Amino acid sequence: MDTTLALRASTAREGMSLVNKYEALLIEQGSPKPSQDRALLVFQALDDLLPHLGVFTKVMKLIRDDLYDAVYSNNFTSSKDAESSFIQRVPHFSLVQQVYKERHEAADELREQLEVVKEKLFNKHKLYEGAQDNISELKNEIEELKQTVANLEDEVEDKNADIKRLETTMGDEKEKANMEKHGLNCDIADLKEDLREAKEQIAFLSKYKEGYDNLEKAFTFNPSVEDSETSKKPVIATRRAHLINNIDAASKLEEQLLTVENAIIDEFDKFLEEHKQELVGLQLTDNTNDKMYYRQEHEVERVDQDLWVMQERFKKSVDDLNTELELIRQHKKMLLEQLQLLEESIKPEEEGDDMEEEANKPETTKQKESRPGTGQESVLSAGLVDEEKDDGADPFIPHERIFSKYAAMMYSSSNKGKNWHEFQAAKFCPSCGEKTIFCPHKIPTDEVVLKLPHNCTHIKITRPKVRINQELIEEILNRQEDFIGTPASIGASQSPADSREGSASPKMTRFRAMASMMGKIEAGRRNELLASLSTTRTPTPGSEAHMPKSAGTGTEPFMTNTISKLWDDYKDRTQIERIIPLPMALDRAVSLIQQFYSFVLWQDEAGSEEEGYFSILDNLYYFMSERYMKEDITYLTTHDLLSAIVDNLNSDKTIQIFGHTLIGNLDASCIRYVLLIADFVSLVDWEEVEDFRAFASIVFPFLQEDDLETLHMGYTSFSENKISKKRVLDFLMYIILKYREPRFQDMENRLLAFPAREHGQMTEHEFNEAVENLVPLHSEKLRKRLFWEAEAHVQMDDMHDVVPVMRLAQISSYLALLQIAQIIRQTVADKVKKAKIRTKGDRAPTKVQSEAEKAAENQITTYSDIRKIAVSVARRKATRKRREAEDAEMDDTQFYG
């Protein structure tokens, strides 16, 4: 014990105390808190103490091991000392701290997630409250609608009661009317009996009156027998003028209504164009599983609902106009009949007057008229004979031939002549047919004072329009032609031979005068007046004079039909003619043709055999009737479309193809063929004329090298060594019109090799066998439709159950091209580009850069564009059909419910 103490004392003295060492290590470690390094120092200190404990060494070692196992876990870790690396066990308190730290981090994450969930819950709660408010509003609206329904039901009951009451009243009125009718019939019978008795009495007394009149006439001086007759003429002239004025007014009113009708049609066409653009602009899908499908369906239904509203408004407006037009035309017809009866009643009197005048004429006058060279008379002196007959006319009875040029109407303007207003003193004159201020038919005082409006700057004085009886003029001209021979001889002097045969009658002078006076009238005004009084309408421009110089004149051998065939077909279908035409712009005509193409393509896809097969003209009229819904409007708008085709036949190749298809020079499959070709043309980036050669080798793979070279040279000449989509398509349509299209010629030669009952014609069975060999993968449904459409069209040429091989070649070409169309679409652009790279040299680019050509390229009508229109229209029709079925089902439910 003393030795140990001595050793400790010596150790302490030497500065080697274990306590100092331990404290120094603790100071170096620096952390007063428990840590792995501090625990390691503790056990190192114990290990250093154990050898110095003597007898307690073993016990302390056991205690040290138990403490070690209690402090350290079974997990191992590396030391933090970079100089001496070793593996040691991790203390339990470190693991606990690590667990606490992880739990704290997890708790923080959970707190953040909880905050997010709270925010979402708050938003959901706000949405829930908004939904509750919306539900409350909807419930209120439902209650209001229920109340409205109840009110309407009460109103319906009241209306039904009114209907029953009115039916009862109508029955009473019918009984009363029948009784009155019976009484009137009895009165008529009594009056007829009284009339018969009066006529018998008149017949009995007339013989006494005749004797008395003869006795009075014998003792009365009568200087002129014609006084009583001439007094009637002013009255007849006035009545004739009134009829002519009324006819003219009816014609003007009819023209105004037709102008309004044209405005309604134009407005409806503009809406249909906007509707087409809106419908095509929708991105439609046929996949019902697509989440956008039902939204698209809602958009289509909205667009169709707008169209339905516009269609109903259009039909109502047209019905109202047709009612007014029918009434006006009936009134005009009645007036014309009255005018005709009046003219017929005047003719016998005039003929009798002329015969009597000829008989009473002095001999010297007859000899003067029979002299040669006196046949031509002046305009002023020519009508003297007729005017002398009216010397006894009543000056107070209006006579338009004398006084019409002395009438005047006055207008005032307060803005320097920009707008004119009638004077308040103006009144309508039935004789002049217009409002007048000064007029011989009115008897004014010695002076007339007119009050000028406030701020009046200008006064305008106009004269009424001249009224001419067309029927009388035409009758005079026709009768003069009978006397003179030809209209060209009007006003010319008689030849000596004519003078030797006999002089002209007194009527000749009158006819010459009227013809000469008509020659003085302005041509435009005369046509206007004649048109306004004519009972027939404007002639349809179906003659060759109304066509362009080369429009359908058959310059090519196969162009056997002229454009007049369209008008002949139009006249066969209807008697409706265009009085006031509505010019159709080229872009409107092209758009209408595009929509018709979509109708045709959709028939090819969805048409059934039960619907039948019709010619391209029949399909056009059916399409127009479906578009405009009214028969008369259908023919009027078709007339406008045909007129636009005639006007633009030589300026646009698309119109030209369509026109020749309608008249039968080309088959209807040609328009489908051109649409496919346009599809291919639109896919190529045209930069050089050489691109056309590569394109032709792809579209016409059967052509030999020489044929390709010839076709390429033809395009170069046609396009003037320029390239663009529009020029390429125009050239391909040009060779179709010239019937130099390679596939058409190839197919025709191959079809002629097959046996047929008649050369150059084939029946359906013969054509089917030929196409099975030439185009084995074609659509039989489409082939049958195209054949019978062609057969229906050639029936106009008295051909039945057969079709010319030339038309069948065009059908076969379309079927063949349609068979490989998808492959060409996928490869044409790449193949032309590769050919361009292989043949690239120092050639200058020939691509057209003008803005006009670029704009024209964007307006090319392709097969894909037309099919997109067809699909959109079909989707809209299906939506309307479904909606109508739902409405009908709902009506049935309400009726039987």
pLDDT digits (tens, 9 = 90+) for 568-611: 999 999 998 888 888 999 999 999 999 999 999 999 888 888 88
Return the pLDDT at 380.
Answer: 32
Residue percentage of the chain with pLDDT more than 90: 32
Position 61 pLDDT exceeds 70 = yes
Position 845 pLDDT exceeds 60 = no
CB 857 within 8 A of CB 725: yes
Position 673 pLDDT exceeds 90 = yes
CB 52 within 8 A of CB 44: no
In tens, the pLDDT along 724-782 reads: 999 999 999 999 999 899 999 999 999 999 988 888 899 999 999 999 999 888 888 99
Return the pLDDT at 398.
Answer: 43
Position 78 pLDDT exceeds 70 = no
Prediction pTM value: 0.56
Overall residue count recorded for the chain in this entry: 897
Which positions ≥6 away from 432 have C-beta within 8 Å? 245, 400, 404, 407, 439, 441, 464
> Once rounded to an integer, what is the mean pLDDT over residues 808-825?
92
Return the pLDDT at 367.
Answer: 43
Q: What is the largest CA-CA distance in the chain?
A: 207
Which SS3 state, helix, strand or coil, does residue 541 take? coil
pLDDT range class, residue 878, cuts 50, 70, 90: confident
> Once rounded to an integer, what is the mean pLDDT over residues 287-309?
80
Average the pLDDT over each of 39-48, 659-668, 825-834 and give the range with the smallest value. Answer: 39-48
Return the pLDDT at 64.
Answer: 79
How many H-runs (helices) and E-runs (strands) does the chain carry? Answer: 32, 9
Return the pLDDT at 511.
Answer: 36
Return the pLDDT at 30.
Answer: 66
Query: Tokens representing 61?
Result: 């070692």
CB 490 within 8 A of CB 483: no
Position 403 pLDDT exceeds 90 = no
Position 526 pLDDT exceeds 80 = no
Position 518 pLDDT exceeds 80 = no
Q: Which residue has the tokens 């419910």?
A: 897
| Spatial separation of the C-alpha atoms in residues 372 and 503, rounded to whole Å | 9
In tens, the pLDDT along 823-840 reads: 998 888 888 888 777 665
Closest CA to 673 of 814, 771, 784: 814
> Once rounded to an integer, what is the mean pLDDT over residues 619-625?
94
pLDDT range class, residue 66, cuts 50, 70, 90: confident
Q: Which residue has the tokens 């407006």?
A: 317
Which positions ≥6 away from 48 have C-beta within 8 Å? 18, 21
Find which of 248-257, 554-563, 845-854 is predicted with most confidence, using mean pLDDT. Answer: 248-257
Query: Tokens representing 247?
Result: 């006819």
Which positions ≥6 away from 594 have C-beta within 8 Å? 861, 865, 866, 869
The mean of the pLDDT values for the chain is 77
Query: Tokens representing 416?
Result: 């320097």
pLDDT range class, residue 475, cuts 50, 70, 90: low
In tens, the pLDDT along 213-265 reads: 776 666 654 544 444 555 555 667 778 888 888 888 889 999 999 999 999 99
Closest CA to 419 of 450, 460, 463, 452: 460
CB 566 within 8 A of CB 661: no
Average the pLDDT over each of 24-28, 616-620, 798-802, 882-886 and give the range with the smallest value. Answer: 24-28
Which positions ≥6 away from 860 have C-beta within 8 Å? 678, 681, 682, 725, 726, 729
Return the pLDDT at 540.
Answer: 41
Higher pLDDT, 29 or 173: 173
Find which of 84-93, 623-632, 771-780 is predicted with most confidence, using mean pLDDT. Answer: 623-632
Position 365 pLDDT exceeds 60 = no
Query: Tokens representing 596?
Result: 């018709």
Burial 48-65 (b: 16+ CB within 10 A, else e): ebeeeeeeeeeebeeebe
| Spatial separation of the C-alpha atoms in residues 546 and 647, rounded to whole Å | 9
Return the pLDDT at 24.
Answer: 73
> Once rounded to an integer, what is the mean pLDDT over residues 529-539?
36
Return the pLDDT at 366.
Answer: 44
pLDDT range class, residue 293, cuts 50, 70, 90: confident
Q: Which residues pair with 563 in a beta bridge?
A: none
| Spatial separation of the C-alpha atoms in residues 22 and 728, rounded to whole Å | 103
Return the pLDDT at 421.
Answer: 84
Position 672 pLDDT exceeds 80 = yes
- Percentages of the chain per state (helix, strand, coil), in multiples of 5: 70, 5, 25
- The CA-based angle 374-380-383, given to 5 degrees, is 80
At what angle are helices 470-484 and 506-520 packed, to 10 degrees? 120
Kindly list the distances between the CA atom of residue 436 and the CA atoms of 245, 272, 443, 662, in Å, as whole numbers in the listed order.
14, 45, 13, 53
Return the pLDDT at 468.
Answer: 56
| Spatial separation of the C-alpha atoms in residues 716 and 112, rounded to whole Å | 76
- Helix or strand holding residue 89 (H, E): strand 87-91
Average the pLDDT over each of 72-81, 629-638, 717-726 and give the range with the smallest value. Answer: 72-81
Return the pLDDT at 359.
Answer: 54
| Spatial separation of the C-alpha atoms in residues 427 and 434, rounded to whole Å | 8
| Spatial separation of the C-alpha atoms in residues 739 and 805, rounded to whole Å | 13
| Spatial separation of the C-alpha atoms in residues 514 and 390, rounded to whole Å | 17
| Spatial separation of the C-alpha atoms in residues 691 and 712, rounded to whole Å | 10
Position 556 pLDDT exceeds 60 = no
Amino acid identity at 75: N
Return the pLDDT at 408.
Answer: 85
Position 385 pLDDT exceeds 50 = no
Kindly list the distances between the CA atom of residue 33 and the CA atoms of 19, 76, 88, 348, 837, in Å, as whole numbers in the listed order.
19, 21, 19, 147, 82
CB 70 within 8 A of CB 47: no
Return the pLDDT at 746.
Answer: 93
Average the pLDDT over each of 129-138, 178-187, 384-393, 414-423 and give the range with the smallest value. Answer: 384-393
Higher pLDDT, 70 or 588: 588
Return the pLDDT at 14.
Answer: 45
Find which of 30-34, 356-360, 515-519 is predicted with most confidence, using mean pLDDT. Answer: 30-34
